[in-house]
């Protein structure tokens, strides 16, 4: 099955997994990660610290704009709220 170019390392405390059980575990992990890896969740967990203006940006559309323009502006940092 295609998992979108994702590499997963699956560690298990079970002695032996059949290929079907392993495939089921990987499928479950992929579905869990796919549902949480989107721009909305990213913007909720991230804030932009702009040292040029001494501001902290928390609005979703401004975070997305800052990520798109990140290559051209110095001293702008993405900080995870966790």
Q: How confident is the model at residue 2 (pLDDT cuts 50, 70, 90)?
A: low
For tokens 């940092």, the residue is: 77
* Cα–Cα distance measured from residue 79 to residue 62, given in angstroms and rounded to the nearest whole number: 14
pTM equals 0.63
Domain ranges of the chain: 40-80
Average pLDDT over residues 33-46: 88
* Cα–Cα distance measured from residue 63 to residue 45, given in angstroms and rounded to the nearest whole number: 11
Average pLDDT over residues 58-69: 90
For residue 42, CA distances in Å to 22, 53, 59, 66 come to 29, 23, 12, 13
Mean of pLDDT over the chain: 87
Pairing mode, if any, of strands 55-57 and 46-50?
Answer: antiparallel
Question: Is pLDDT above 90 for 74?
Answer: no
| pLDDT, position 63 | 92
């Amino acid at each position: 099955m295609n998992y979108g170019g994702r590499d997963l390392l699956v560690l298990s405390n079970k002695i032996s997994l059949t290929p079907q059980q392993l495939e089921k575990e990987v499928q479950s992990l992929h579905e869990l990660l796919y549902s949480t890896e989107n721009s909305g969740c990213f913007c909720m967990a991230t804030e932009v610290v702009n040292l040029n203006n001494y501001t902290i940006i928390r609005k979703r559309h401004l975070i997305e704009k800052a990520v798109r323009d990140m290559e051209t502006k110095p001293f702008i940092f993405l900080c995870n709220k966790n």
